[in-house]
Structure 1
Amino acid sequence: MKEKIHTTAICSSTRSALLTGANHHTAGFASVSDTCTGFPNNQGWLKPEYATVAEILQEYDYTSFAVGKWHLLPLDRTEEQGPYQNWPLQKGFDKFYGFMEGFTDQYHPDLIKDNSVIQPPKSPEEGYHLSEDLSEQAVHYIYQHTTAYPEKPFFLYLAYGAAHSPHQAPKEYIDRYKGKFDEGWDIIRERWFENQKKLGIIPQNTVLTPRNQLVKAWDELSEDEKKVYARYMEVFAGFLEHTDEQIGKVIDYLDMIEQRDNTIIVLLSDNGTSAEGGQEGHFVHEKSLDILKTGTEVQVEYSGKINEIEFRAAPQVVTSKEMLDEFFRLD
């Protein structure tokens, strides 16, 4: 398998290509489903002639679960009364637990289970957080499946709402990063860049790109702005660490049931940091159209050993369509 892919730099389009193996325009997602135009290349839902990976795996006796963000429907098709033909259960998944739109509140999410609206299992005061809930549900589905059908394979599509806005994490995670970003983004990005070279993530001859001209130099900010933006970064970092722990819970469970070495694990981000909010952090939805590209590169981490064959990363760049093609070539 490859260790890098190209996303479409925006969520619905990347998800459509990843789940179907088709080019996102061909699958019906030239942009996010919220901005669909009705034209065939941007209709805002998956075309029926392009099967999802879950539909294909049904033919091979897999059980498939979708947990988390779907975002492959226009808003007027996300209501509880349907139509359902492009909801997860109608696209090859046996069970679904998550939310339909591009983002939701981490403490008061708009939850769907299968084809029905449900309420979160507990309140924020009782310790509820969506990312934790999604991991617990994913583990529950794996437990149910492996207990009833230990020899039958499963496919889990787990898509967290993090680290999309709104950035909401438990306070103790945010507090761990207090003061970590006070030097500002200019110094920090240079340090991270050099560390990536040191770790071998990027070639030694890589040149750091100029700071985005729409973002001020840190030294040009007022003291109040520095405090606010440093806090933004603390919140995001805490949110990301919290999410990382939730991913770890699922992997730990695979270890516990001795299935990690028999599982291919693919970890990716569908578009990375977004410019939609601008420097101030507010959400300006119209700007999403300006960042749609077809060549944003993201890192993919995976590991696994299937039938005693160990898989190792190869330094190549592919599209999300080619990534799915490669998955089906694994034996």
Structure 2
Amino acid sequence: MSHIPQPRRAQDLKAYLAGFTALCGLLAAPALALAQGAGSDPLAGKVGRSVAETHAPVWPSNPAAPRGAPNVLVILTDDVGFGATSTFGGPIATPTFDALSKQGLRYNRFNTTALCSPTRASLLTGRMPHNVNMGNVTNLPSGYDGYTTVIPKSAGTMAGILKENGYNTAMFGKSHLTPDWEMSPAGPFDRWPTGLGFEYFYGFLSADTSMWAPAIVENTVPVEPPHGDPGYFFEKDMADRAINWMRTQKAAAPDKPFFIYYAPGLSHTPHHAPKEWLERFRGKFDQGWDKLREESFARQKRLGVIPADAQLTPRPASLPAWASLTAEQKKVYARLMEAFAATVAYSDHQTGRLIDAIRQSGQFDNTLIIYIEGDNGASAEGGLDGLAYEQSAITGRKENFAELAGRIDEIGGPALYNHFPAAWGWAMNAPFPWWKQVASQAGGVRNGMVLSWPKRITDKGGLRSQYAHVSDIMPTVLEAAGVTPPETLGGVRQQPIDGISLTYSFDRPDAPSARRQQVFEMMENFGIYKDGWVAGTLPKRTAWEVGVGEDRKATMGPEDRVWSLFHLDRDFATARDLARSNPAKLKEMQDLFWAEAARSNILPIHDYSQGTEGRPSLGRERTHFVYPAGIGTINEDAAPHTIGRSFTIEADVALSSPGASGVMIAQGGRYGGYSFYLKDGRPVFHYNAVGTDQYSIAADTPLPPGAHLLSAEFQADAQALRTGGTLTLRVDGKAVAQGRIAQTVAGWMSHTEGLDIGIDRITPVSPDYASAASAFTGTLKEVRVTIK
């Protein structure tokens, strides 16, 4: 209304009102025309036109996928080495992987990044891990460029891009992409799967979870697993959810393509599998790792997945020969390997159910399926004996063989969190040396991949040996879908994509590798590939030495490392180190590495314990926490940081009758944590320091009905990881029990389960109760935690 003169004097008011009335009449004219009919519009041809004379109705449009765009299913398993599956000559039958390979293409020079989070970030963004700040797993960030674990918005994912181009998107299984300090109910949720372009997510956020009692999230809401269902297993649940989502999506929009990222938690620790699947592998590995590796090597040559002139690399000096073991060691180690094999086979079976559902829906021929077995090489993190609990390694606890041997019949079941010995990890990476974490060597980064798309790929069962990297998956998917990478996504200008589409290899088995160069770095293991040559450092420590309190060999800097050099075009298995015989080539490759490292956010190369000062945290600097009843699933970073410190827990309760029971506060679960609860009316504090290290302090007398202030006071012997201390229980200020907690955990209280108030939701910290029956039966007003 700026063109109507504003009244400045009383005498102008009459003119102003007249002008305003005339304008209102003009604005009302279209509505009047509708009421009177188009032909009776008194202002037609003067102010506007009738409805019949204007354009047709126009609606905001939803994005539509390119015509004929395929559905996309990307499958990424966990910690499965190149030489594990039958598809690539390994000892574990994987019929789904096998069948898909006969339908599509096998890639035998496909490379990952040597660790979980970096591979997953690179796969989804199409960039090098350090270029999206994922130079290590999200559990171990540092404050240097390339290592913060905060994926920038300038690195949009293929889920986000496909969603903007008419796809429905969903993710199932393991994420491991969210920074620790962003995993709480307070968010932010930008780097949860639903913030990374997925319209639906059902899985877990951290590195791993129990398959029997998983820490599940649906979108951004924690989901309590079923209790008391002996048939429940997360991998089956996950497949059921994926199948249902796919069928529902196709029922609602048959012509709309889907993108499913299907990321099983198996075969990462814990090596859990249903009993009938464990039984399938009894006695299958009694020959030991040395013989098994030789058998796999022979099968790989027969299948043609490695060249006929390849040489089998020898066992590292750090690993024992199978023949040197005692009979009891062989029995226990073979059982641990049986559990791993069962996880690989069972996961392949559940993946097969999803693929069968796609086939039954009539969508299979136009579905691009990319099935990658392993996000890195098989793991040696179980150490020389294996582990009954992965948590022992990550909390600084030393297991002994007798403890593991005494629980042999529980291996693979819900009571343990077992991992196999390092030598089995080495065997699963045949024919290559080394293992997970070692990005400078093929055993850490070489994984078997199968790609199927019947509508497009005609060379069924073909082998492709072009050098490829996990960052190539996104550009391959986008090109197959007919989608051009956007310059901006969500209003943010996008950084360059590092990956190279593999579609050129679909019809050209002998095409030269489009990827001519690739830089690697992980956990201070670094290397470079260039035109068939690869140079890299040898590990300065074993994978099982990367734990809490271990010797990090901090005085050995990057410049002190020993390098190796291999000519991959002539030495597929990296069996012949040419570093000494060809120093000029080695120097050329080293110089190239440092130049690429400077361009790719890899520098400074540093230990994961360095650069952590000032790390963001919701809980680290807090000393006082107040929780009302009903609060639950607070992640570790946001919960009280009690490790290595003295603390007091206070609970205000009211009991209407004697014999009350239930949890007031619990952090963690069966595999490590603490719980303050009532048992038959008596206050109890239980500290679960993993395995046999269990400590309970309990009052002798039940509480009478009424209001009470209950407290548990832990006085640490020292401000140090694994410190022991004295625990005192008080009722209304009076000490009622006191006892020793000989040792506490280090590193993580629980990397899978959070903190709950008034219940212990997923698995019980203490054997005194079951999670399903752990709810507090009195009135819980408030719980307070004070860190001293």
Bin of the TM-score, shorter chain as denominator length? over 0.9
Instruction: Give the Cα separation in 2 of the matches to 1:107 and 1:290.
Output: 25
2:423 is equivalent to residue 318 of structure 1: no
Instruction: Give the Cα separation in 1 of the matches to 2:383 and 2:282.
Output: 23
Q: What is the TM-score with the length of structure 2 in the denominator?
A: 0.40
Instruction: Give the Cα separation in 2 of the matches to 1:41 and 1:189.
Output: 36
Letter in 2 for 1:159: A
Instruction: Give the Cα separation in 1 of the matches to 2:255 and 2:288.
Output: 52
Using the TM superposition, give the Cα deviation of residue 2 of structure 1 relative to its aligned residue in structure 2, in angstroms.
7.8
Using the TM superposition, give the Cα deviation of residue 304 of structure 1 relative to its aligned residue in structure 2, in angstroms.
1.2
Instruction: Give the Cα separation in 1 of the matches to 2:279 and 2:450.
Output: 28
Match of 1:293 in 2: 439
Name the SS for the 2:446 alignment partner: strand
Match of 1:89 in 2: 194
List per-residue Cα deviations over 1:23-60 (Å, max 9, x = no partner). 10001111111110122201113111100001111221
More helix by share: 1
Letter in 1 for 2:366: N
Instruction: Give the Cα separation in 2 of the matches to 1:76 and 1:252.
Output: 39
Name the SS for the 1:158 alignment partner: strand
TM alignment of 1:1-331, pairs within 5 A: 3=107, 4-120=109-225, 122-123=226-227, 125-268=229-372, 269-282=374-387, 283=390, 284-285=393-394, 291-293=437-439, 296-306=445-455, 310=458, 314-330=464-480, 331=482
Contact 2:106 2:448 in 1 (8 A): no
Contact 2:115 2:436 in 1 (8 A): no
Comparing 111-120 and 68-77, the one that deviates more: 68-77
Using the TM superposition, give the Cα deviation of residue 272 of structure 1 relative to its aligned residue in structure 2, in angstroms.
2.9
Letter in 2 for 1:315: S
Name the SS for the 1:301 alignment partner: strand
Using the TM superposition, give the Cα deviation of residue 227 of structure 1 relative to its aligned residue in structure 2, in angstroms.
0.5
Name the SS for the 1:103 alignment partner: coil
List per-residue Cα deviations over 1:129-180 (Å, max 9, x = no partner). 0110111111011011000000001100010110000011011111111111
Residue 266 to residue 65, structure 1, CA distance change in 2 (3 Å): same
Q: Percent identity?
A: 35
Instruction: Give the Cα separation in 2 of the matches to 1:167 and 1:213.
Output: 26
Query: Alpha carbon RMSD of aligned pairs, Å?
Result: 2.0
Instruction: Give the Cα separation in 1 of the matches to 2:220 and 2:334.
Output: 41
Comparing 91-100 and 71-80, the one that deviates more: 71-80
Contact 2:380 2:436 in 1 (8 A): no
Using the TM superposition, give the Cα deviation of residue 311 of structure 1 relative to its aligned residue in structure 2, in angstroms.
6.5
List per-residue Cα deviations over 1:203-239 (Å, max 9, x = no partner). 1111001113222000101111100101011111111
Name the SS for the 1:57 alignment partner: helix
Name the SS for the 2:312 alignment partner: coil
List per-residue Cα deviations over 1:54-85 (Å, max 9, x = no partner). 11112210010011100012222222331211
Residue 292 to residue 43, structure 1, CA distance change in 2 (3 Å): farther
Q: Bigger radius of gyration, 1 or 2? A: 2
Instruction: Give the Cα separation in 1 of the matches to 2:228 and 2:171.
Output: 24
More strand by share: 2
Contact 1:264 1:304 in 2 (8 A): yes
Instruction: Give the Cα separation in 2 of the matches to 1:102 and 1:62.
Output: 28
Instruction: Give the Cα separation in 2 of the matches to 1:290 and 1:61.
Output: 37
Instruction: Give the Cα separation in 2 of the matches to 1:237 and 1:47.
Output: 37
Contact 1:181 1:188 in 2 (8 A): yes
Letter in 1 for 2:472: E
Greater relative contact order (CA < 8 Å, ≥ 6 in sequence): 1
Comparing 77-86 and 41-50, the one that deviates more: 77-86
Contact 2:216 2:222 in 1 (8 A): yes
Name the SS for the 2:203 alignment partner: strand
Instruction: Give the Cα separation in 2 of the matches to 1:49 and 1:310.
Output: 36
Letter in 2 for 1:277: G
Using the TM superposition, give the Cα deviation of residue 265 of structure 1 relative to its aligned residue in structure 2, in angstroms.
0.7
Instruction: Give the Cα separation in 1 of the matches to 2:386 and 2:285.
Output: 16
Letter in 2 for 1:298: N
Unaligned runs of 5+ in 2: 1-104, 397-421, 423-434, 483-788
Instruction: Give the Cα separation in 2 of the matches to 1:123 and 1:184.
Output: 37
Unaligned runs of 5+ in 1: none
Contact 1:98 1:112 in 2 (8 A): yes
Name the SS for the 1:139 alignment partner: helix
Instruction: Give the Cα separation in 1 of the matches to 2:313 and 2:185.
Output: 46
| Matched residues, number | 328
Contact 1:78 1:101 in 2 (8 A): no
Match of 2:5 in 1: none
Name the SS for the 1:300 alignment partner: strand
Name the SS for the 1:68 alignment partner: strand
Instruction: Give the Cα separation in 2 of the matches to 1:96 and 1:129.
Output: 18
Match of 2:519 in 1: none
Using the TM superposition, give the Cα deviation of residue 292 of structure 1 relative to its aligned residue in structure 2, in angstroms.
4.1
Name the SS for the 2:247 alignment partner: helix
Name the SS for the 2:248 alignment partner: helix
Name the SS for the 2:238 alignment partner: helix
Comparing 308-317 and 97-106, the one that deviates more: 308-317
Instruction: Give the Cα separation in 1 of the matches to 2:342 and 2:246.
Output: 28
